[in-house]
Structure 1
């Protein structure tokens, strides 16, 4: 699966409502032949990166059924794309998207940069208007589980403040009363801090971008999970940083591999979810956390601890944080409220030693000036009125009821669950088919899936898939998925 350059990532084309296996009228009216119509359709999908380099195109039989044309028409269309250098024919296997050779430009050689991770595909399509109930790859809670009532009450309370307060300039480090409340929240996970240790942001994505911009330079090595969250992989790759993946299993990162990779590559930084890792759902044990800190100290690595799912952990579940063991000496801690409150409530924060905070605040000032104080006040209202804690408890209870039935639904389809998370809303499955192809077919049918390649530092295609248990019980989606899996598992025609 090849790289996509984010500067070319425009809004995706409208998703077709057709369902795999059905028939439909020709795509383009007029005098264009059916062969040209199918060829143009396939070429457009290749250009949009729905079908990416190395992926197998839909089989001749499958596409003829989907498009309501003869197999001869599909073969002729595919052959034309082979002649244009877009497809590669492999006898007995099918047609594949050809890797495109890089263009040679007459200019001075530029420094070697890492491949840009294809984060745009998932990010754009999560915002493309596909309904959450048709989106097993969705990365957030559906609206019905978010804190809309808390947001409404917070906005009402904030509107009662004097106009002079609402009209003043926001504080670059963040609204002080909110930072004071965040210090109390950090104390709940045994991190000793003051407001000087805290910088508010517009979520963990901005937090991580500020950290990467300040601490990393092109050519630096960063250890991440393999798999890991694609937005972080994309931010690193865009900065020319070399990303090295640490393998994960059902229990978390392979610590022997981490130690060996740290010794080999001398990384500047380790990026890790210690709690409810995205996408595997694993939680570090206390022993593992201590070992990670020892590896970081031995090789002088900074640690960025992304704790965006902190509030999904039950109060009675042991979940050690690296920041609590290290007390913000080597560890930079990130968290956010957008996962639990609502995706639109872009309020997160960084906790680190005060000198780091001063440096990161300068980058924030130059890039975005400040986090909007209005949304900071809304979050503060939810935290101080007690409604946020009750909301977290309700959400965790609903997830507990949904989790096992969701796991069993996908296991009944032949998926293998890798680990069995006891909290959160994500599941990491082996689907037994090429999930790049599954995601491409799903997008054509109006469904959003999150293939495992998007969570890999190498973007290697494979059979892994992230599933959101709150958006994966739609009957029509499950029916489509069952039929499509049968087609993908069948021998190529």
Structure 2
């Protein structure tokens, strides 16, 4: 048995005794003061030495086992576990050339563990812009409820009270969708995947805006689908090109951000929306309206689903951009038959979605705080956007079109932005070069910038050095 000296535990600390024990034991193991294979004091001995209850010691040892610091051997006790030393993270290697920057590169660097909290290429708002207290309070409220309701599978369509709340929310957008027409998903990413798998077959063509959200290009291609871009203009798609491509390819789907399009932050005009629906009817394709940025729009906007009544349109929404990306709560609104098919498809893929996150979103929406949170977020974006546009103009970056809402600015740098992205990565900054927003992935002088990130000195300093010298 190891000779473990007593730890200095404080009863006056705000840190729980079990937390103090776990932290102290883990530190001694990390510092190699407790060697691998050494036997820990028995629960009774540790409790007596430190003047704590055996229950506190059991909870501490169990957490140390779960964290990989100790092994529990039945009938023998607890032993220090051999731990692999974490490899030192190598210096970030910049891509060797334009061909190495692809969608996977951007996704990897968006989610890797590094100081990329306010990177200009990020697709979400900073954490301190989100309503963390509301999420925390909703989780606390859930923890006080009967745990039986949190331990089983969710409902196939998703948490019913949330779908009822979404029915009211969509009605404000003039979209009629009863709860049975709404299917909850793991974010809009899963929603797009389910729709494509249900309504397309390998070899079919999917039309997307060009530029558009890069992740779906790789996802659709992996399904064996042909991804074809439709030129995006300031008021929506190029209708002449859309008609030509629809006649040529007879697509199964056309995926569009109608409101606060990613990456340009533009929205479709009502006349163009009617023409898109007319073409969908003429050529027999389904319109998938991705409205993930809906809550960042300050006023009324044209929605295809509202004009169409969910006949030719499947509507997607979620809360990752406005509430919390980590909740992964999205939804599909569709006709009754399509909703049933998509719920079945979801069950084949993941059984049901976890309704814990859905219950959190329901509580936040139903208590009325969400509207005030959105007002604050939109006000912050409106406050920083004019200064950001002036700053970019001084750097020689042209915003065309200049957005009046949303979190993104789509700029023309006048040079290959793949090269800028490679240089930024050497300084631990993530840029989103324009090549990744087009299905053809060709080099581009465009890039997407996050308005909030432009307030960060590291971002503005890099852009000044890279563009002005």
Contact 2:421 2:433 in 1 (8 A): yes
2:402 maps to 1:420: yes
**Counterpart among 117, 128, 151 of residue 167 in structure 1:** 151
**Which among 304, 308, 316 is matched to residue 334 of structure 1?**
316
Please give the per-residue CA displacement for 1:345-382, whole angstroms capped at 9, x wherever unaligned.
11000000121111111221122122211111110000
Residue 30 of structure 2: aligned partner: none
* In structure 1, distance between residues paired with 2:172 and 2:460: 41
Distance 1:428 1:434 in 2: 14
Q: Structure 1 residue 393: deviation in Å? A: 0.8
1:193 Cα deviation (Å)?
Answer: 1.7
Paired residues of 2:110 and 2:430 also in contact (CA < 8 A): yes
Q: Is the 8 A contact 2:453 2:459 kept in 1?
A: no
Task: State whether structure 2 residue 263 is matched by structure 1 residue 279.
Answer: yes
What's the CA shift for 1:338? 1.0
2:208 and 2:228 in contact (8 A); partners too? yes
Alpha-carbon contact 1:400-1:423 (below 8 Å) kept: yes
Deviations 1:59-110 (A, max 9, x none): xxxxxxxxxxxxxxxxxxxxxxxxxxxxxxxxxxxxxxxxxxxxxxxxxxxx
Aligned residues of 1:51 and 1:437 also touching (Cα < 8 A): no
1:386 to 360, 368, 372: 368
Change (3 A) 1:14 1:300: farther
Superposed displacement of residue 445, structure 1: 1.4
Aligned with 1:261 (options 245, 250, 253): 245
1:348 maps to 330
Over residues 213-238 of structure 1, what are the superposed CA-to-partner deviations in whole Å (9 max), with x where a residue is unaligned? 11111111111111010111121111
User: What's the offset of the Cα at 1:132?
Assistant: 4.5
The CA deviation string for residues 152-187 of structure 1, in whole angstroms up to 9 with x for no partner, is: 111122122112222232112101111111111111
Q: State whether residues 97 and 419 of structure 2, in contact with CA within 8 Å, keep that contact through their aligned partners in structure 1.
A: no
For CA contacts below 8 A with separation 6 or more, give which structure has more relative contact order. 1
Paired position in structure 2 for 1:224: 208
Q: Which residue of 2 aligns with 1:249?
A: 233
Conserved 8 A contact 1:132-1:142: no
CA contact (8 A) 1:15 1:446 kept: no
Higher mean alpha-carbon deviation, 412-421 vs 363-372, is at 363-372
State the partner residue of 2:176: 192
- The residue that corresponds to 2:127 in the other structure is 143
Correspondences of 1:472-487 after superposition (within 5 Å):
472-486=454-468
2:356 pairs with 374, 377, 383, which one? 374
Within 5 A, what are the aligned runs for 1:5-154?
A: 14=89, 16=91, 50-52=95-97, 54=99, 118-132=102-116, 134-154=118-138
Contact 1:415-1:429 within 8 A present in 2 as well: yes
Q: 1:203: Cα distance to partner?
A: 0.4
Q: What TM-score comes out, normalization by structure 2 length? A: 0.78
Structure number, greater radius of gyration: 2
Identify unmatched segments of 5+ residues in structure 1: 1-12, 18-43, 56-116, 488-493
1:485: how far off?
2.4
Give the superposition deviation at 1:249: 2.6
Tell me the SS of whatever aligns to 1:199.
Answer: strand
Q: Distance in 1 between matches of 2:392 and 2:236?
A: 22
Query: Structure 1 length as normaliser, TM-score?
Result: 0.75
Report what 2:54 is aligned to.
Answer: none
Aligned length: 382
Give the Cα–Cα distance (whole angstroms) in 2 for the partners of residues 303 and 189 of structure 1.
17
Could you say what secondary structure the match of 1:344 adopts? helix
1:211 matched residue in structure 2: 195
Q: Are the counterparts in 1 of residues 98 and 443 from structure 2 also a CA contact under 8 Å?
A: no
Any idea what SS the aligned residue of 1:207 has? helix
Question: In structure 1, the residue corresponding to 2:316 is in which secondary structure?
Answer: strand
Are the counterparts in 2 of residues 198 and 351 from structure 1 also a CA contact under 8 Å? yes
Question: Could you tell me how far apart the structure 2 residues matched to 1:324 and 1:243 are?
Answer: 26
User: Structure 2 vs 1, CA of residues 294 and 443 (structure 1 numbering), >3 Å: closer, same or farther?
Assistant: same
| Partners of 1:131 and 1:15 in 2: CA distance | 14
User: Given the alignment, which residue of 453, 457, 468 partners 1:471?
Assistant: 453
